[in-house]
Amino acid sequence: AQSVTQLDSHVSVSEGTPVLLRCNYSSSYSPSLFWYVQHPNKGLQLLLKYTSAATLVKGINGFEAEFKKSETSFHLTKPSAHMSDAAEYFCVVSDPSDFQGAQKLVFGQGTRLTINP
């Protein structure tokens, strides 16, 4: 079974400074990995996805993530934090279920990002 570990439950940075949200995964397949963001009382919005093409993936709102197979990591970064980035971030691995090809997303526990003015 595939799993995801987000190494920090809470990250706090100042506006204009870099953001690093860490994620390690466990997968017996060649994984598909995603980062989603959830603002308060909202659903989940896709930030970016890795699907075995380029190891450095660019997403929306200036976020990017680097897939490192040797470290089984998929960390999310942004050069300069904005107040609007304050939200919950989820690292997700896609688990192709063996039941008639369903696609099950396996979520990490989430990292709450706080931006200080």
* Structure letter (DSSP) for residue 1: -
Encoded one letter per residue, x for contact with other proteins by CB under 8 A and - for no contact, window 9-38 reads --------------------x-xx-x-x--
Q: Where would I find the beta strands (DSSP E) of 1-63?
A: 3-6, 10-14, 19-21, 23-26, 33-38, 44-50, 56-58
Considering beta carbons, is residue 14 or 45 the nearer one to other proteins? 45
Q: Which of 3, 26, 80, 109 binds other proteins (CB under 8 A)?
A: 109
12-20, 56-64, 76-84, 97-105 -> range binding other proteins (CB under 8 A): 97-105
Interface with other proteins includes 94 (CB under 8 A)?
Answer: yes
Interface with other proteins includes 46 (CB under 8 A)?
Answer: yes
Q: What share of the chain is helix, strand, coil (3-state, %, to 5)?
A: 5, 55, 40
For the chain, the C-alpha Rg in angstroms (whole number) is 14
Two tokens at 81?
């934090």
| 33 bridge partner residues | 50, 93
15-23, 45-53, 58-66, 67-75 -> range binding other proteins (CB under 8 A): 45-53
Question: In the complex, which residues of this chain contact other proteins (CB under 8 A)?
Answer: 29, 31-32, 34, 36, 41-46, 49, 51-52, 90, 94-97, 99-110
